A and B are shown apart, each in its own frame.
Chain A
Amino acid sequence: MKWYERHVDAGLTRWSLGELSAPESSRLLRHAHACSRCGSRYNKWARAHRVFESGQTDTPTTMELETLTVAGLEAALGAAAPPDAAHSRWPTLAVLGATLAALFAVVVVPTVRPTPTEPEWSPRGVVHDPAPPAVPLAQPVLRIFCAAPGQSLREVRTGTACAPGATLAFAAGARPPYTHVAVRVRAGGREEVNGPFALSGSAGEEGPLELTVALPATSDMAEVTAAFSEHPDATLAALRGGTTEGVVVLRQEVRVEEGP
């Protein structure tokens, strides 16, 4: 079923031949659930094939069983992800603008290979690297969001401000081996270290962190620092001034004042 096939009808013939791929099967079923006319048509189609193949309306055909099995795997694995990695909670994050990676000052300790240069027009999160693929690549991303009363959630980029008394929220993603992140926020003379949080998404697939931090009620400059590592303890150690071997640290300052 191509993307431009608007209704189930076009996919049903290929469905009954077992020729739909897993994504196509999922798409067909999702559409059938959402479109009452198509859902009814799917039910009739399936029942007719059941009777044709087994003589029973309640016995699924082998093709139907295969299709349903293939189509349900993705959803089942998605449910297994830990709650803090569930992208559906903040679906808009996945489609928000460009990554903050380029906006961050990236501090990579000498023992970590520098992030490879990406060619122009490459999709976000895709790393073009001549090195052997066995070598893990670093491209962690931390995105900061400002939640102010009476305003919609917006991403905080370099040079933009978040209002006093507002709340910061975060999303992060990284490629293996960076599986954990810890976040430190300094503002109003206070320092708060949170985490480590487990990461499951890669760059370009950042997931929300179970973390919000209230900003001071007066104008200030907040500093957000995130440490990524494959070892949860190492992320905290790096933020507390300990060893930084194998840790990638990202830092961004956020102006705490009224206005954009």
Chain B
Amino acid sequence: MLPGNERSVLEAFRRGDTPVLTQVYRTYSPEVLRYLSRRFSVHSEGGARSVALTPLDLDAAHQETFVRAFRPHMRQAYDGVRPYLGFLLTVARSTAIDLMRASGRVAREAVPLEDAPELVHAPDDSRTPEEEALSSEIRALVRRFLDALPEEGRDLAQLRFMDGLSQEAAADQLKLTRGEVRVRERRLRLQFTEHLKDSGWLDSDAAPGRLELGLMLATLSLCAIPFGSLP
């Protein structure tokens, strides 16, 4: 039940029938999210570099892609011949450009509108030093958590997340029932969230602010000392 498959579905899509639009959304949303979460290569005067949307920008770009694609004139613009996914990803790319420009992550002059196709998926994984530092920081955080886990917890994390096994497959390997895996996985996630909170890493942005405040208070205190009291 997708707009490229049948004439009647295409017509219903163009009319804006909610069940058809819902079906289209559910079918293509994961593809759009995967597309938007990759790194994009940007060409500018300084050369090529790759950028990625932040997790929050990913939400904004994904939502905006469908908002744009589902507007009446855009539904009418789809010819029903080309694969709809290609049409949708073109909208997604344009949305990503707009969002990165708006957030200042991509200079306006870096990707002129007429050169929008230059924003392509990056073939490599070239990251900025800041991104590398952030990535290393998070890896160390996760490593500390995993190291503190008992062996069974580490094994479960390895199978489910690193190896990407299903709960059933992980249960087979660990000689557990699927229910037991589900319960342990939930506990594992809870422990990880607690670890994030306890580590103070989530609040680390506030640290420089506190430091600045401390320095300012110290300076004010020094200024407030009467000269006469100095030796």
A residues sitting closer than 8 Å to B (CB atoms) are 12-13, 16-17, 29, 32-33, 39-55, 57-60, 64-65, 68-69, 71-73, 75-83
**Chain A CB within 10 Å, residue with most, of B52, B63, B157:** B63
Can you give 12 A-B contacts (C-beta < 8 A)?
Answer: A16-B193, A33-B56, A33-B60, A47-B134, A48-B142, A48-B196, A55-B162, A57-B135, A60-B33, A76-B70, A82-B72, A83-B72
**Docked pose: A50 CA to B162 CA in angstroms:** 11
Contacts of A51 in B (CB 8 A): 135, 138-139, 141-142
Q: Are B138 and A47 in contact (CB under 8 A)?
A: yes
Contacts of A33 in B (CB 8 A): 56, 59-60
Q: Are B52 and A44 in contact (CB under 8 A)?
A: no
Closest to A57 in B: B135
Distance of B189 from chain A, by nearest CB (Å):
6
CB-defined interface of B136-155 with A at 8 Å, one 1/0 digit per residue? 00110110010000000000
Distance of B56 from chain A, by nearest CB (Å):
5
Given contacts A51-B142, A52-B161, whether A58 and B67 have CB atoms under 8 Å apart is no
Distance of A17 from chain B, by nearest CB (Å):
6
Distance of A136 from chain B, by nearest CB (Å):
18
Q: Does B210 contact A (CB under 8 A)?
A: no
Q: Are A64 and B55 in contact (CB under 8 A)?
A: yes
**Sample of 11 more A-B contacts, CB < 8 Å, known A48-B138, A51-B142, A76-B25:** A13-B190, A40-B205, A44-B202, A45-B196, A47-B55, A52-B157, A58-B52, A60-B33, A68-B63, A72-B25, A72-B59
Closest to A19 in B: B186
Q: Are B37 and A80 in contact (CB under 8 A)?
A: no
**Docked pose: A13 CA to B139 CA in angstroms:** 20
Q: Does B75 contact A (CB under 8 A)?
A: yes
**Docked pose: A247 CA to B201 CA in angstroms:** 64
Q: Does B219 contact A (CB under 8 A)?
A: no
Closest to A73 in B: B25
Q: Are A57 and B56 in contact (CB under 8 A)?
A: no
Contacts of A83 in B (CB 8 A): 72
Q: Are B70 and A80 in contact (CB under 8 A)?
A: yes
Within 8 A of A (CB), among B183-207: 186, 189-190, 192-193, 196, 201-202, 205
Distance of A5 from chain B, by nearest CB (Å):
15
Closest to A14 in B: B193
Q: Are B66 and A75 in contact (CB under 8 A)?
A: yes
Q: Are A77 and B59 in contact (CB under 8 A)?
A: no
Contacts of B186 in A (CB 8 A): 17
Q: Is the interface of A mostly helix, strand, loop or mixed?
A: helix
Q: Are A43 and B56 in contact (CB under 8 A)?
A: yes
B residues sitting closer than 8 Å to A (CB atoms) are 16, 18, 21-22, 25-26, 29-30, 33-34, 37-39, 52, 54-56, 58-60, 62-63, 66-72, 75, 131, 134-135, 138-139, 141-142, 145, 157, 161-162, 164, 186, 189-190, 192-193, 196, 201-202, 205
**Chain B CB within 10 Å, residue with most, of A44, A46, A49, A69:** A44
* Contact among B38, B55, B190 for A46, CB-based, below 8 A: B55
Closest to A79 in B: B67
Contacts of B29 in A (CB 8 A): 68-69, 72-73
Q: Are B193 and A75 in contact (CB under 8 A)?
A: no
**Docked pose: A43 CA to B190 CA in angstroms:** 18
Q: Are B33 and A68 in contact (CB under 8 A)?
A: yes
**Docked pose: A68 CA to B33 CA in angstroms:** 8
Q: Are A68 and B25 in contact (CB under 8 A)?
A: no
Closest to A28 in B: B59
Distance of A70 from chain B, by nearest CB (Å):
9
**Docked pose: A52 CA to B201 CA in angstroms:** 15
**Docked pose: A51 CA to B139 CA in angstroms:** 7
Given contacts A16-B189, A51-B135, whether A82 and B56 have CB atoms under 8 Å apart is no
Q: Are A79 and B138 in contact (CB under 8 A)?
A: no
Contacts of B202 in A (CB 8 A): 41, 44-45
Q: Are B71 and A79 in contact (CB under 8 A)?
A: yes
**Docked pose: A64 CA to B131 CA in angstroms:** 20
**Chain B CB within 10 Å, residue with most, of A32, A58, A76, A77:** A76
Q: Are A17 and B189 in contact (CB under 8 A)?
A: yes
Q: Are A12 and B138 in contact (CB under 8 A)?
A: no
Q: Are A77 and B70 in contact (CB under 8 A)?
A: yes
Contacts of A60 in B (CB 8 A): 33-34, 37, 55, 58
**Chain B CB within 10 Å, residue with most, of A45, A54, A75, A79:** A79
